[in-house]
Amino acid sequence: MVKYKIKNKKTGEIKGVGLSWILREINKDRSNEWTPYNKDDWREGLREFTEWEVYEVVEVIDSKTGLTFKFPDDKKKEEFFDLWDKYEVIKE
């Protein structure tokens, strides 16, 4: 799980949230014809259909091991996500 700080573009409010909150915010109050955003395309939905934007990635929690990765600075965060993007989950 990844925890994000998001910022309201109109009010400047900043709050800490997880992906489930973000998906509920994007997909709420939509018609039956609406195709819900999901974990793969949520950034576009957040940008296009809400007043929120990602302000900062706060931490990443590995759901299998429970390990929490916190970032002391932006350089370490960048290095982590460079590796994360290269990581491939092998399914049995």
Please state the rounded mean pLDDT for residues 70-90.
Answer: 62
- pLDDT, tens only, 21-66: 999 999 999 999 999 999 888 889 998 999 998 877 666 666 677 7
**Edge-to-edge strand ranges of the sheet holding 2-8:** 14-18, 2-8, 52-61, 68-70
Q: Is the pTM higher than 0.85?
A: no
Share of the chain above pLDDT 90, in %: 29
Residue 16 pLDDT > 50 = yes
